[in-house]
């Protein structure tokens, strides 16, 4: 069961070269786990959640130990904070992270970056995906020529059609090259090789 210091917030708290993973309850330095007991980790999380704010000794007592547990509170709290400092290579005399505010409480004096829990994005429907593309929204209607993807398809279709026409004309020219020359020069397709002269017969009866 998550502790009271952890269950109200899930994610990662980063400070300097350290990070406190609230989900796993681990302290890491440069990504490597730093051994730290549960109570000192909880005390560190309480401070991290309130950077540059004084956390009183009574607030620590309320959050770290149940009301029906009887302990030597001053000694126990001092021990917990000392273990948290030791894990951070910190000291009470020259604090870099955990500062002591008289006998009032403690304060975290370093900047803290809060990152929320990582979630996996839901998979997009199959109809939204295209080859070589990431779906970013619903597919454009069939008549929508303004879609970039549709414009690309139309250009590709025109290019294929033009290439086919050129190839067909090229093949036709190979098998009948003279037809192309005659068509370009405006010559008839069949040259006149002979002329037939037919006799005329007067049928009108008019000498003129």
Could you read off the pLDDT of 111-158 as tens digits, one per residue? 999 887 655 445 545 544 443 444 445 554 544 545 677 777 788 877
DSSP-assigned states of every residue in 9-26: --SEEEETTEEEETTTTE
Q: Is residue 66 part of a domain?
A: yes
Average pLDDT over every residue of 47-61: 94
| pLDDT over threshold 70, residue 85 | yes
Q: Whole-model pTM above 0.95? A: no
**Do 10 and 110 lie in a common domain?**
yes
Cα–Cα dist 24/117, whole Å: 11
Give the whole-number percent of the chain exceeding pLDDT 70. Answer: 62
Q: Which of 115, 136, 166 is a domain's end point? A: 115
**Do 41 and 104 lie in a common domain?**
yes
**Do 88 and 161 lie in a common domain?**
no
Q: Is residue 83 part of a domain?
A: yes
Whether 43 contacts 90, CB under 8 Å: no
Whether 13 contacts 67, CB under 8 Å: no
pLDDT score of 87: 96
Average pLDDT over every residue of 87-115: 93
Q: What is the CA radius of gyration of the chain?
A: 44
Cα–Cα dist 76/84, whole Å: 13
**Do 15 and 83 lie in a common domain?**
yes
pLDDT score of 132: 43
Looking up residue 28, the CATH number of its domain turns out to be 1.10.10.10
Average pLDDT over every residue of 6-31: 85
Domain count for the chain: 2
CA atoms within 13 A on the CB side of 29: 6
The domain in which residue 39 lies consists of 4-115
In Å, what is the CA distance from 205 to each residue of 198, 199, 202? 20, 17, 7
Cα–Cα dist 121/124, whole Å: 9
The better pLDDT of the pair 118, 21 is held by 21
Question: What rounded mean pLDDT belongs to the chain?
Answer: 76
Whether 80 contacts 43, CB under 8 Å: yes
**Do 56 and 102 lie in a common domain?**
yes
Residue 90 confidence class, pLDDT cut points 50, 70, 90:
very high
**Do 14 and 103 lie in a common domain?**
yes
Q: Is residue 207 part of a domain?
A: no
Indicate the DSSP class of residue 94: S
Q: Is residue 199 part of a domain?
A: no
**Do 96 and 154 lie in a common domain?**
no
Residue 73 confidence class, pLDDT cut points 50, 70, 90:
confident
**Do 31 and 93 lie in a common domain?**
yes
The better pLDDT of the pair 102, 84 is held by 84
**Do 150 and 77 lie in a common domain?**
no
Could you read off the pLDDT of 169-188 as tens digits, one per residue? 776 666 565 555 555 555 55
**Do 154 and 102 lie in a common domain?**
no
**Do 67 and 21 lie in a common domain?**
yes
Q: Is residue 92 part of a domain?
A: yes
Judging by DSSP bridges, how do beta strands 54-56 and 113-115 pair with one another?
unpaired
Q: Is residue 70 part of a domain?
A: yes
Burial of 80 (0-12, 13-18, 19+ CB in 10 A): buried
Three-state SS sequence of 48-64: HCCCCCEEEHHHHHHHH
Whether 20 contacts 112, CB under 8 Å: no
Indicate the DSSP class of residue 180: H
**Do 33 and 109 lie in a common domain?**
yes
In Å, what is the CA distance from 69 to each residue of 41, 84, 92, 148? 19, 22, 28, 68
Indicate the DSSP class of residue 109: -
pLDDT score of 67: 80
Structure tokens at 199: 């006799």
């Amino acid at each position: 069961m998550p502790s009271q210091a952890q269950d109200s917030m899930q994610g990662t708290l980063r400070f300097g070269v350290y990070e406190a993973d609230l989900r796993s309850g681990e302290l890491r330095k440069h990504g490597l786990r730093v051994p730290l007991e549960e109570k000192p980790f909880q005390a560190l999380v309480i401070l991290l959640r309130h950077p540059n704010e004084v956390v009183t000794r009574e607030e620590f007592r309320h959050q770290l130990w149940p009301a029906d547990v009887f302990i030597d509170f001053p000694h126990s709290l001092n021990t917990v904070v000392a273990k948290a400092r030791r894990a951070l290579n910190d000291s009470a005399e020259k604090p870099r992270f955990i500062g002591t505010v008289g006998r009032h409480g403690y304060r975290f004096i370093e900047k803290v970056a809060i990152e929320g829990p990582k979630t996996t994005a839901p998979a997009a429907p199959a109809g939204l995906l295209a080859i070589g593309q990431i779906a970013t929204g619903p597919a454009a209607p069939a008549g929508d020529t303004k879609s970039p993807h549709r414009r690309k398809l139309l250009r590709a279709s025109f290019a294929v059609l033009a290439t086919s026409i050129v190839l067909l004309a090229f093949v036709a020219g190979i098998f009948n090259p003279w037809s192309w020359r005659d068509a370009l020069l405006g010559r008839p397709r069949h040259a006149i090789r002979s002329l037939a002269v037919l006799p005329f017969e007067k049928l009108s009866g008019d000498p003129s």
